[in-house]
Amino acid sequence: MSLFGFHYRLERKAIGLTLAIILVASIGGLVEIAPLFTIHQTVEDAPDMRVYTPLELAGRNIYIREGCYACHSQMIRTLRDEVDRYGPYSLAVESKYDHPMLWGSKRTGPDLARIGEKYSDQWHVAHMNNPRDVVPVSVMPAYGWLLTTELRTDDLGLHLKAMRRVGVPYTDDMIANAAVDAYAQSNPDSPLADGVTKRYGKATTLRAFDGQPGRLTEMDAMVAYLQVLGRLTDAATKSTARAEAGQ
Amino acid sequence: MIAQLTLTERQHAIMISAAVAVLGALMILVGQDDAMSIHGVLVFVASAIMIFRIGGSYYAPLPSDDRLAHYYDDPSKVGIVLSMIWVVVGLAVGDWVAWQLVNPDLTFGPGWSSFGRLRPVHTTSVIFGFGGNALIATSFYVLQRTSRARLPDQVSPWFVLYGYNLFCLLAVTGYLMGVTQSKEYAEPEWYNDFWLVVVWVTYFVIYLRTLARRKEPHIYVSNWYYMAFILVVAILHIVNNLAVPISLGHTKSYSAFSGVQDAMTQWWYGHNAVAFFLTAGFLGMMYYFLPMRAGRPIYSYRMSIISFWGITFFYMWAGSHHLHYTALPQWVQTLGMTFSLMLLIPSWASAGNVLLTLNGAWDKVRDDATLRFMMVAGVFYGLTTFEGSFMAIRTVNSLSHYTDWTVGHVHAGALGWVAMITFGSIYASVPWLWKRQQMYSPKLVEAHFWLALAGTVIYVFAMWNSGIVQGLMWRTYTESGTLAYSFVDTLVAMHPYYIARAVGGLLFLIGGCIGAYNIWKTIRISGAAAEQASDVPQPAVVGAGTLQPAE
Amino acid sequence: MIEHAFLVGFSKSFGLFYLIALSIAVVIYAMKPSNKKQFDEAAQSIFRDEAGPWR
Ligand code: HEM
Ligand code: HEM
């Protein structure tokens, strides 16, 4: 009756099948994926690469929350028409701080890998508020509430800490000041603004992204994120320039 | 149904529900200022309902030992009903988002109804809600019959079924609130992922325990497929969902992987979710219900074994065909393409097995819409896998990737294969399970069949057109060497196809509703006149099943 | 530290060997004449009507 008595042999067959399935199925993935974890040995690094500021990270999380990745890719393939349309093709290093990556699999709307600073803040705000105000035939939903919803900042430190645990080099200083930096990045005139530049570098953009200084909305975060896409490092433009010079 | 449980089983069920209720209370407590608390309430209420339902019948008369002379089919029955509920919801949301691409103002304003949040509700409802419940329900059914053993106990199957539906419910309500990991088909957040692991392990243990009690020395091939489905989905799920939550009181987590590694892990997962959730499990279904309904054994049992191992080991290498021309190293792309092409062999072996099994029984296929569902499923399986292998070729993929061609391929597989084989199997098993002579209305089955077929064909053709048109427009250059079309130009070109797709989807949805109604009526008609004695399915209603040896 | 080049080389070559070896093993298992009876019986087994579980 019991598992190990009379039916021991039959049981062995089921376990054998189980093990065989696990073995046959898992080896393929292991052998193929493992080398990718040593890839940093061959891919050139981007020493100028900076991490997302707390405000940009918050924007990225809104991008994820709203499911923007369902319609927009962030991966320019190595094809001539894509490079002509969207800019230099995407490099592996460019998404090394992207947990998770947002390469996407469908372009219901255009690629966004290099959308940063291609349009003005005002354009983005108008577009997010109602896409059809600026692109009449667009099928993108309107995200008007971003402009009126206050951005939640009290837990941003936790976000940065979790990102550090998965390998992104946030410093203690950055984590401690996360909420303040988020506010300051969208209030360039505030005395706290210097801290952002100090911690994240001079190239960091400080602006009232949503056009309402003094108020920190989800729109600020979203536009700050969109404006930094493709601009965390200029490794891609450099490598394209090098390729062209080499020809 | 609770009357079937023994006293200890009732106690266990209450204890498990109470433990889950405690988890829910904890979630409410620690997740106070987060969506987690809302999920806590859901978990708590769900388990409270369970406790009350079991408690209410706690003193019901105990079951007699007679029950042990029958298979334990209650979980399968409930699973089929749940599956039909999910499919109606999932198809309706699918068609809603399809209309949103025709007219974007159909979100009506609030955040939860925008395309990006509803799309995963659609995919999760149909794949996990509809497909998953159908797989669980049929796997219990098939496992018992092919082993000639009853399920080992009467609590763990319920835990698996209800626990799984709780997972699905948390998933879709989460997306509406914006709780998502953004990984396609792995959107649920970390706490829900943990929960699924518990449920899934229990599911597999039931499998092993039942097999251990089987009478037949050989394990029937359907069970191989179901086992591969459960095991590999577990592996994929655990690896791809490795993440660090920002705190135990928050829903949000950060994936352990980033960039290229994350992309490869995600599509290793994504592609094999297709392989082991949407393919292997449903092949298991097919290898039982098709022969039973047709009244003839599978054409080649050997071929089914060869394709089993083929699928199990080829698929695992193929994920990188989702990343052609990206920043993924090229050798990985080539490897993915090669294995995708070879996948055609085991895939067509299965599709061929379907058609060859029916060869010589075409009169039954003509008369019996249920069998026709299964036949069409086999044809679409062959088509989709051919198309998939074709799209995995790098140069073809350079055109198809990012376009509606992919969506067309997905739905050729999802509507044509997954949904058709499921509807066929459900129509076959409902009369067997509820001991009716036949479905309430065979005419409505017929109507469902034609609506489903028409809907699928319209959907797939519309998306092929839309995808190829868009892909070609993107890469068209003027004579002076500049891009000929803006992105917006392609939107205008795709508009008519989006309307056609939404209409096709509507037909498919109507068919699904008719199916749900028909099944409901079959369950509700008093079975007195129609009762069958046997626990074992009666071969097809039309044309007495004459058994013929294979090969 | 494991070399990237080694892992890539292993992947590329091992994939092929693994594929061939497993294919041969599976075809032998499926086609072995002594297994034929077992498979034929299995294919028929689902039709045997025993009206209920044996335990
Ligand atoms: C009434 C029938 C259906 C309609 C109208 C419908 C509609 C849609 C729409 C509009 C999308 C989004 C496509 C895009 O982003 O451009 C989609 C995606 C998807 N649907 Fe459906 N769907 C239906 C049935 C199903 C069924 C039955 C399944 C699975 C069993 C399914 C699985 C999927 C999947 C996996 C995706 C994601 C595709 C991708 O990422 O490429 N759908 N569907
Ligand atoms: C031999 C079998 C198959 C192969 C080689 C294959 C190959 C492919 C390829 C190349 C893509 C496009 C990836 C891209 O460009 O983004 C794809 C997407 C997809 N296929 Fe298949 N396919 C196969 C069978 C199936 C079947 C039977 C289904 C069942 C429903 C299916 C469901 C999907 C889904 C859901 C996607 C969309 C993934 C996404 O982007 O979200 N495939 N497949």
pLDDT score of B544 more than 70: no
Least-confidence region, from A218-222, B42-46, B64-68, B98-102: B64-68
Q: What would the DSSP string read from start to end of B303-316? A: HHHHHHHHHHHHGG
| Mean pLDDT, residues B89-117 | 93
pLDDT score of B85 more than 90: yes
Q: Does A30 touch chain C (CB under 8 A)?
A: no
Task: Determine the distance in angstroms separating the CA of A81 from the nearest CA of chain B, rounded to an integer.
Answer: 5
Of the candidates A28, A33, A79, which has its C-beta nearest B325's C-beta? Answer: A79
pLDDT score of B69 more than 60: yes
- What pLDDT does residue B547 have? 40
Is B255 exposed, middle or buried (CB count within 10 Å of its CB: 0-12, 13-18, 19+)? buried
Highest mean pLDDT among A3-7, B217-221, B475-479: B475-479
pLDDT score of C34 more than 90: no
Instruction: Select from B127, B325, B406 the residue to mutate for testing ligand 2; criterion: most ligand atoms less than 8 Å from CB.
Output: B406
Answer whether A114's CB lies under 8 Å from A76's CB.
yes
Of the candidates C22, C41, C53, which has its C-beta nearest B144's C-beta? Answer: C53
Highest mean pLDDT among B357-366, B528-537, C19-28: B357-366
Q: Which residues of B176-203 are buried (b: 16+ CB within 10 A; e: fewer)?
A: bbbbbbbbbbbbbbbbbbebbeebbebb
The C-alpha atoms of residue B419 and residue B460 are separated, in whole angstroms, by 14
Closest to B292 measured CA to CA, from B69, B547, B518, B550: B547
Q: Does B104 touch chain A (CB under 8 A)?
A: yes
pLDDT score of A247 more than 50: no
- What pLDDT does residue B61 have? 87
pLDDT single digits (tens) B430-454: 999 998 988 999 999 999 999 999 9
The C-alpha atoms of residue B190 and residue B208 are separated, in whole angstroms, by 27
More confident residue, C40 or A71: A71
| B120 CA → ligand 1 middle, Å | 9
State whether B292 and C54 contact (CB < 8 Å).
no
Of the candidates C23, C40, C54, which has its C-beta nearest B550's C-beta? Answer: C40
State whether B254 and A25 contact (CB < 8 Å).
no
The C-alpha atoms of residue A90 and residue A88 are separated, in whole angstroms, by 6
- What pLDDT does residue A42 have? 61
Answer whether A59's CB lies under 8 Å from A224's CB.
yes
- What pLDDT does residue A243 have? 63
pLDDT single digits (tens) B44-55: 999 999 999 999
- What pLDDT does residue B218 have? 87
Answer whether B395's CB lies under 8 Å from B333's CB.
no
More confident residue, B86 or A17: B86
Cβ within 8 Å of residue B294, ≥6 positions away:
B357, B358, B361, B364, B371, B539, B540, B545
- What pLDDT does residue B109 have? 78
Instruction: Select from B409, B411, B422, B456 the residue to mutate for testing ligand 2; criterion: most ligand atoms less than 8 Å from CB.
Output: B409
pLDDT score of B541 more than 60: no
Task: Determine the distance in angstroms separating the CA of C28 from the nearest CA of chain B, rounded to an integer.
Answer: 10
| Mean pLDDT, residues A193-197 | 93
pLDDT score of B549 more than 50: no
> SS3 letters for B119-135?
HHHHHHHHHHHHHHHHH
pLDDT single digits (tens) B249-272: 999 999 999 988 999 999 999 999
- What pLDDT does residue C21 have? 83
| Mean pLDDT, residues B367-374 | 96
Q: Does A105 touch chain C (CB under 8 A)?
A: no
Least-confidence region, from A41-45, B222-226, B526-530: B526-530
Q: Whose CA is nearest to atom 7 of ligand 2?
A: B388
The C-alpha atoms of residue B124 and residue A57 are separated, in whole angstroms, by 27
Answer whether B106's CB lies under 8 Å from B96's CB.
yes
Q: Does B19 touch chain A (CB under 8 A)?
A: no
pLDDT score of A68 more than 80: yes
Residue B460 banded pLDDT, cuts 50, 70, 90 = very high
State whether A75 and B262 contact (CB < 8 Å).
no
- What pLDDT does residue B141 have? 96
- What pLDDT does residue B546 have? 38
- What pLDDT does residue B543 have? 36
Residues of chain A positioned with their CB less than 8 A from the CB of B208: 11, 14-15, 18
| Mean of per-residue pLDDT scores for chain B | 92
Residue A3 banded pLDDT, cuts 50, 70, 90 = very low
The C-alpha atoms of residue B354 and residue B300 are separated, in whole angstroms, by 10
| B212 CA → ligand 2 middle, Å | 36
B232, B274, B402, B472: best to mutate for the A interface, most A CBs within 10 A: B402
| B388 CA → ligand 2 middle, Å | 6
Residues of B numbered 165-194 whose beta carbons fall under 8 angstroms of chain A's beta carbons: which are they? 175, 178-184
- What pLDDT does residue B536 have? 54
pLDDT single digits (tens) B123-182: 999 999 999 999 999 999 999 999 989 999 999 999 999 999 999 999 999 999 999 999
User: What pTM, to 2 d.p., does this model score?
Assistant: 0.93
Q: Whose CA is nearest to atom 12 of ligand 1?
A: B119
- What pLDDT does residue A4 have? 41
The C-alpha atoms of residue B192 and residue B194 are separated, in whole angstroms, by 5
Residue B550 banded pLDDT, cuts 50, 70, 90 = very low
Q: Kindly compute the dihedral angle of the four CA atoms of residues B413, B416, B417, B421, in this order, to the nearest 10 degrees.
A: 160
pLDDT single digits (tens) B291-349: 999 999 999 999 999 999 999 988 888 888 999 998 888 888 888 898 899 999 999 99
Length of chain C equals: 55
| B407 CA → ligand 1 middle, Å | 7
Of the candidates C18, C38, C53, which has its C-beta nearest B71's C-beta? Answer: C53
| A101 CA → ligand 2 middle, Å | 20
Residue A245 banded pLDDT, cuts 50, 70, 90 = low
Task: Determine the distance in angstroms separating the CA of A190 from the nearest CA of chain B, rounded to an integer.
Answer: 29
- What pLDDT does residue B64 have? 84
The C-alpha atoms of residue B134 and residue B281 are separated, in whole angstroms, by 10
Specify the residue for token string 């099928």: A139
B179, B250, B258: best to mutate for the A interface, most A CBs within 10 A: B258
- What pLDDT does residue C20 have? 82
